[in-house]
Structure formats: C-alpha cells, structure tokens
Amino acid sequence: MSRLLLFLVCIVFAPLIQAQSVAIGYPSAGSTISPSSNFTVEIDRPKSLTGSTEVSLIISLRPCAASDGSICEEMVTVLYNGGYNLQYSDTGEEKPPHQNFSVAVPQGLEAGYALLSVGHVALVGAENSPMFEVVYVDVQIASSD
C-alpha cells in the first residue's frame, strides 16, 4: 500500500515541480563568448498555474576539457548569486517570463569549451516545498588573440 501511495504522490507532484523549472534562453548552446567582456544570460521560466516563490539563482562559468561538459559539472566561477525577479516581455514577442543578467567573463579564463550553469532555488506549491535544480548550456570562450 505504501508503494502505491508513493507512486501516486510522485505522479501528482512531478509535473508541478517540472512546471517551475528554468531554462537558459540565451546564450544558446555553442555560442561564442569573448574573454574579459560582459554578456547577457537570459533565464526563462514557463508560465504555470502552480504558485511558487523564487528564492535565488546562481550563474556560473567553468572551462571544460570536453565539448559536452561531461567533465565539469561543478559551479566553479560564480558570475551571479542573488534574487530572481521574473518579467513579462512587452515587446510583442512571444517569450516566457524571464530575467536578463549582465555578467562578466573573468579575465584569464582559458579559451575553448566552457559550461554555463544556472542553479535555481524556489519554494513550490501551497506547502512551499523547496526545489533546487541546475541547468547547463555549453559555450565557447573565444581566444584573446
């Protein structure tokens, strides 16, 4: 009986939590970023009927040895750590609620593949269940030549 209850709870809550997930809207996978420069990171979160309270975001960049980011999953160089305040686009484009962050590529970051990571913390649903997720996109750090 307890396994059936656990299964039912998972079926009910998994879609609710998934609806609160974020995505990296920009830069797209494979984008090139110039060293020692600022770039924009757009964090999107699809609209949802489930209530949530945004707690914080962590944006990080880490050079990788492989193009798929499989060797570097930790957040090493934190570019942003703070609040997340979703905005709706008023430009007429069809965009999910999002926020743009201007972050700087650290000086001395080696050229090549890098993993842009976003950690997201939110309280979800009427019970304010804590949720933590990390999403990734691989980017290319340009040579400083």
Report pLDDT for 60: 93
Provide the H-helix boundaries in 19-51.
none
Give CA–CA dist 34/77, Å, rounded.
Answer: 16
Q: 12 to each of 4, 6, 15, 17, 84, how far by Cα in Å? A: 12, 10, 7, 10, 26
Provide the domain limits for residue 55.
Answer: 2-141
Taking only the tens of pLDDT, the chain with its 145 residues reads 555 544 444 444 444 444 578 999 999 999 999 888 899 999 998 877 777 888 999 999 988 866 554 566 677 789 999 998 888 877 666 788 899 999 998 888 888 888 999 999 999 888 888 999 999 999 999 987 6
Give CA–CA dist 26/89, Å, rounded.
Answer: 15
Report pLDDT for 111: 86
Contact 22, 120 (CB under 8 A): yes
Structural domain count of the chain: 1
Q: CA 90, 95, 98, 104 torsion: positive or negative?
A: negative
CATH at 42: 2.60.40.10
* pTM summary value: 0.79
Report pLDDT for 107: 83
